[in-house]
Amino acid sequence: MDAKTVCLGLLSFGEASGYDLKKHVESSGDLFFATGFGSIYPALAALSSKGLIERSRTTGGGRRDRKVYRITPTGRSELSRRLAMAEPRHTLRSELFALLYFSHLLSTDRLTQIVDERLAAMIADARTEDLTESSLMHPKPSRAQFVAGLRRALLETTIRYTRDHRKLLEPS
């Protein structure tokens, strides 16, 4: 999903600044997209110029230059339209997948190291989950719970599968 739609979607939960949005995306584990400020600020500017969002407040708690955006009615209906048209594919891609596919070109030591590292990171990740206590979404909507739970289930499956089938990665 492209940056503009994600920003618009997140703003449908409540008002936020570009910084807030970035934090929220990060804290939900880069679930549906990962990005830097270089994507978010231009996206907000574009949405704003189309009238899909607007500035609500500019200073909000002692901090300098804080630009808080709010979705407009036009923005909300445009978002609904886009989502209704979408044909969302569930194609799971991962850099880890890709690397393991070509792991015959890796030394056994390096491969062991990578798998151990990733396994540890995933275990930590699966535990950490649900610290998504962002200011957007006070009571966490049930759909966000659905997605977070699914993400966790997928992580757990990956961990279990990798442990059980690790032998397949050894040189034959």
Partner DNA sequence: CGCAACATGTAAGCGGTTACATGATTAC
Partner DNA sequence: GTAATCATGTAACCGCTTACATGTTGCG
Residues within the interface to its own copies (CB under 8 A): 1, 6, 9, 12, 29-34, 76, 79-80, 83-84, 86, 88-107, 110, 114, 118, 121-122, 141-147, 149-151, 153-155, 157-158, 161-162, 165, 168-170, 172
Which residues are CB-neighbours of 32 under 8 A, at least 6 positions away? 1, 6
Minimum CB distance to its own copies, residue 17 (Å): 20
The H or E element that residue 4 is part of is helix 3-11
Nearest to 98 by CA among 118, 69, 120: 118
67 binds, among DNA, its own copies, none (CB under 5 to 8 A by kind): DNA
Q: Does 32 bind DNA (CB under 7 A)?
A: no
**Cβ–Cβ under 8 Å, residues 66 and 59:** yes
Single out the residue of 42, 51, 141, 149 in contact with DNA (rule: CB under 7 A): 42
C-alpha to C-alpha distance for 96 and 102, rounded to whole angstroms: 10
Binding-site member from 13, 14, 24, 66 for DNA (CB under 7 A): 66
- Stretch binding DNA (CB under 7 A), from 34-42, 72-80, 101-109, 160-168: 34-42
Coil, helix or strand at residue 94:
coil
Rank residues 49 and 92 by Cβ distance to its own copies and give the closer one: 92
Tokens 């407009």 belong to: 72
Give the residue carrying structure tokens 């209704």. 84
Torsion sign across C-alpha atoms 27, 31, 32, 35: positive
Report the residue number, 45 or 153, with the smaller CB distance to its own copies.
Answer: 153
Asked whether position 43 contacts DNA by CB under 7 A, the answer is: yes
Determine the interface stretch with DNA among 29-37, 77-85, 99-107, 114-122 (rule: CB under 7 A). 29-37
Walk across the sheet containing 53-57 and list its strands.
16-17, 68-71, 53-57
Q: Which of residues 101-140 bind DNA (CB under 7 A)?
A: none
Which residues bind to DNA, rule: CB under 7 A?
2-4, 17-20, 23, 33-39, 41-45, 61-68
